[in-house]
Structure 1
Amino acid sequence: MGALESLFGLIGDLTWGWALIPLLVVFGVFITLLTDFVQFRFFKRMFRVLSSKNQSGDPNAISAREALLISVGGRVGGGNIAGVAVAITLGGPGAVFWMWAIAIVGMATSLVECSLAQLYKRRQPDGMFRGGPARSILHGLGEHFRWLAVLYAVCLIASFALGFNAFQGNTVAGAVQDSLGINRTITGALLAVVAGFIVFGGIHRIAKAADVVVPIMAVGYILMALIVILMNITAVPGVLVSIVANAFGLQEAVGGGMGAAIAQGLRRGLFSNEAGLGSAPNVAATADVRHPISQGITQSFSVFIDTIFICSCTAFIILLGDVYVPGAEGIDGIALTQQSLVSHLGDWSQYLLSFMILLFAFSSIIYNYYLGENALTVITKHPMAENALRIVVIGIVFLGATAPRATSVFFFSDPMMGILAVVNLVVIMMLLPTCLRILRDFRQQLSEGVVRPVFNPDNFPDLDLDRTAWTAKPDSSD
């Protein structure tokens, strides 16, 4: 076991340790420039997904909004509550600024990776779609790169479906026990049963659950933060000045100054919004949309929601309170967020936060499961494989919740996600010219007055596409 831990520790050092975060940042800036600042030019268009006019006409299909909510439910998790608190503790208020910066850059990266997943998606016998970086590799780069697709799939299952689901179970069980005194076994059993009911229903039931859970948890958390902000409105300008000043080293809140702020902000921002990590494209591919770029724009919006909205809520709850003391050692993680909220709103708020954490964890669990299921279909077509994975995931959620130290078994999760991200970035760069082609097609239709551009696969005969996945007719009406 010691040798394995050393090996995965080395992999983690070679990826997350020094190479991966700069690569994600540099690639994000590079993509932003090549796409002519696509995240800014299509920012207003991102909100169209919330309108019923822009949903699929097929009631049995996964709509763009449902795919958005599944991915938001997956991106938004413990990292938005505990991760932001850790970033502020280790990097100071300036870390928040760099979270915002990496989110803006990551919006372009997410648009590209999710558009590619849409482009190479395949219609399944039940009418649903499957796609993601593994299928982008198989159909975009060719069968001779199948080994790369399998490597990606194995890393996705190990990190998200197994490791991160154990951590999610552990997080919610710990928070409920600390605030409500409920035994971990009870919480773990309840979480496992409800998650089992959802995952055995497949992507359609996952989408319906996300359509209900995600708006409740996101809007509820944002409203709670808005109350805190309004109660401390006169202190908000000072907090904003502190965030910017610390970000550029004009004020030093922690040891390491500006360097600590940048490192923690970028790291926590990337872990939270997952832009460029290759996870969200698996969900983006399930949507029934008119053009691949449309869903890319939608998924770019999910990065904005995750970091600019939800992470900022946690940051203001902490920085507007008196629990956090810059540079001082003490509480961090969920405890810091929880105690800061109590200092603003009273003891009752910790119970509401526990409920929010439960929703965050639940949405992440079903999201992580689907990522594993989708990856598994690349490795094997055996009809029992999916059910076996469902049973394993439910067991892991229960184990993680009831045995806190059991999560140490999943030490490989972060290193495997590091390999996952490296593979995904290689695929993005190799297929970026293809994405730029379909982006030009989307923009050309907009310039010709087409309000809702439609993708015609016949215009791209050189690409290995599923022609049955694109059947929408041109529509110039809004």
Structure 2
Amino acid sequence: MLEVINDFLSGKVLIVLIVGLGSYFTIRSRFVQLRHFFHMFAVFRDSLKSSAGQLSSFQALMLSLAGRVGAGNIAGVGIAVTLGGPGAVFWMWVTALVGMSSSFFECSLGQLYKRADADGTYRGGPSYYIQHGLQKRWLGMLMAFLLLVTFGFAFNGLQAHAVTHSLNNAFGLNTTYTGIGLAALLGLVFIGGIKRIAKVADLLVPVKTLVYIGVTVYVIVLQFDQVPGMLMTIVKSAFGLDQAFGGLIGSAIVMGVKRGVFANEAGLGSAPNVAAVASVEHPVAQGVVQAFSVFLDTFVICTCTALLILLSGFYTPGFEGDGIALTQNSLAAVVGDWGRMFISVALALFVFTSILYNYYLGESNLRFLIGENRKALMGYRALVLVLIFWGAIENLGTVFAFADITMTMLAFVNLIALFLLFKVGMRILRDYDDQRTAGIKTPVFDSAKFQDLDLDRKAWPANPPAAAPQAQAEPQGVPAAQR
């Protein structure tokens, strides 16, 4: 029954939602993800700055990448290629392209409707923009519950399963012991809350990402003469024009969209939870940064994995096996047996930070549902650690099907909310664009212009100090806060 429901939801509903509404947001915003593409790098550079006691935009980016860059970038791509052929990679690209606009709006709205806690830190996400933007508390609670179940519980079990079985394949390590070790290490980080999670993500995410990209690019460069032909095969297979993969066009679309969403999470409502905690001058700045993270996740990392598999010579049409083994054996076919070990270690780093991110999403939405309750928080942490250990040693076919269903339900609730709040998203985008057109390098959000919106005026004060136009000389020797 779960498989039947999952096939319908993820095979039909999810495609229409992600590609259909993502395309709508893209066209109505005049391709915001392309118009601001090069601006993303300038915002990314500025995001390295942080306010005292607050998480910087860069830290929020590392947190979101901690979640986006996980098992889906290794195992998920392998599964997509196995079941959908090379054409699945093209549909992953399509999903990411339109998903960049969805992520832009969901993260901008997450920032817009964020709330300031008593200690000055921020919290927000889809549940908050549904409650305060649509004035539907019950729908916000449903969204929070779905995020809690999907990320806090189901996805954590799946991630743990992926890494422990990968380490078992590469090193022969017992899944029980690796499951216990993984749960113990994660428990130490959970205790420190969002700031400790952010510090760990700051350290591990750039390292794991750059090392993985470096090794895969090395393999691709070794066979660079085959890359143009393989890219052509990917495009032709996506439309059933390659004879070897002509019968997989339906599977290519379904697997490309499904695994693409699992990898980059654009439109699911997960990234806005961490995007909201950052201290930024304008909500749109965080939307721009998070759109960049979708690009990095899919167009760079997932493409590296796909080309690694397709160029290795190990993969053949009709290949039977799991996605992790396919990626491990593909790298080993080019560089030797150490390739299997490298994939396992890389996957372990990917999964560790991804579980931290998933845990935070669950905790944030638990707080939305029941408020500050220390006993409930301790119970949640304990349950997550138990499920991580359970996922490490059990077969998770049923859990995977359940997670796909709740993921589709998340996309449905979140994307409909984004559609209903799209005019608000366009208003703040126009405000940001108008300031940039006027020559202001770093646009500043003034909540006085948006009195009709239910905003937290502590998070977004009225009449903040205006930013100087880009052409104007910066005052020398005067701290930015005083300016």
TMscore range, shorter length: over 0.9
Looking at structure 1, the residues matched to 322 and 165 of structure 2 have their Cα atoms a distance apart, in angstroms, of: 15
Looking at structure 2, the residues matched to 11 and 122 of structure 1 have their Cα atoms a distance apart, in angstroms, of: 37
Q: RMSD of the alignment, in Å? A: 1.7
**CA gap 1:265/1:452 in 2 versus in 1, 3 angstroms:** same
**Contact 2:10 2:254 (C-alpha < 8 Å) held by counterparts:** no
**Contact 1:49 1:55 (C-alpha < 8 Å) held by counterparts:** no
**Contact 2:100 2:292 (C-alpha < 8 Å) held by counterparts:** yes
**CA gap 1:346/1:308 in 2 versus in 1, 3 angstroms:** same
Q: Partner residue of 1:476?
A: 468
What percent of counterpart residues are identical? 47
Q: Partner residue of 1:415?
A: 405
Listed as ranges, the matches of 1:63-78 within 5 Å are 63-78=56-71
Aligned residue for 1:454, secondary structure, equals coil
Give the Å deviation of 1:321.
0.9
Asked if 1:122 is matched to 2:122, the reply is no
**CA gap 1:74/1:183 in 2 versus in 1, 3 angstroms:** same
**Contact 1:132 1:285 (C-alpha < 8 Å) held by counterparts:** yes
Q: Partner residue of 1:329?
A: 319
Provide TM-score, normalisation by structure 1.
Answer: 0.94
Looking at structure 1, the residues matched to 249 and 31 of structure 2 have their Cα atoms a distance apart, in angstroms, of: 27
Stretch of structure 1 that moved more, 462-471 or 304-313: 462-471
**CA gap 1:410/1:227 in 2 versus in 1, 3 angstroms:** closer
Give the Å deviation of 1:140.
0.6
Looking at structure 2, the residues matched to 473 and 85 of structure 1 have their Cα atoms a distance apart, in angstroms, of: 50
Q: Partner residue of 2:479?
A: none
Listed as ranges, the matches of 1:255-270 within 5 Å are 256-270=247-261
Asked if 1:225 is matched to 2:216, the reply is yes
**Contact 2:43 2:285 (C-alpha < 8 Å) held by counterparts:** no
Q: Partner residue of 2:106?
A: 113
Give the Å deviation of 1:248.
2.5
Amino acid in structure 1 at the alignment position of 2:101? A
Q: Partner residue of 1:314?
A: 305
**Contact 2:11 2:254 (C-alpha < 8 Å) held by counterparts:** no
Q: Partner residue of 1:353?
A: 343
Deviations 1:424-448 (A, max 9, x none): 0111011111010001100000011
Q: Partner residue of 1:280?
A: 271
Give the Å deviation of 1:387.
2.0
Listed as ranges, the matches of 1:10-409 within 5 Å are 11-51=5-45, 53-142=46-135, 145-254=136-245, 256-326=247-317, 328-381=318-371, 382-401=373-392, 403-405=393-395, 408=398
**Contact 2:327 2:343 (C-alpha < 8 Å) held by counterparts:** no
**CA gap 1:19/1:325 in 2 versus in 1, 3 angstroms:** same
Give the Å deviation of 1:383.
3.0
Deviations 1:213-242 (A, max 9, x none): 111111111001111011111111211121
**CA gap 1:312/1:406 in 2 versus in 1, 3 angstroms:** closer
**Contact 1:80 1:311 (C-alpha < 8 Å) held by counterparts:** yes
Find 2:435's aligned residue among 434, 440, 445: 445
**CA gap 1:11/1:378 in 2 versus in 1, 3 angstroms:** farther
Give the Å deviation of 1:96.
1.1
Looking at structure 1, the residues matched to 335 and 183 of structure 2 have their Cα atoms a distance apart, in angstroms, of: 31
**CA gap 1:226/1:13 in 2 versus in 1, 3 angstroms:** closer
Give the Å deviation of 1:252.
2.9
How many equivalent residue pairs?
467
Amino acid in structure 1 at the alignment position of 2:366? L
Q: Partner residue of 1:3?
A: none
**Contact 2:155 2:358 (C-alpha < 8 Å) held by counterparts:** yes
Amino acid in structure 1 at the alignment position of 2:374? P
Give the Å deviation of 1:90.
1.8
Instruction: Give the unaligned 5+ runs of structure 1.
Output: 1-5
Amino acid in structure 2 at the alignment position of 1:74? G
Provide TM-score, normalisation by structure 2.
Answer: 0.93
Give the Å deviation of 1:20.
2.2
**Contact 2:154 2:400 (C-alpha < 8 Å) held by counterparts:** yes
**Contact 2:44 2:289 (C-alpha < 8 Å) held by counterparts:** no
**Contact 1:120 1:466 (C-alpha < 8 Å) held by counterparts:** yes
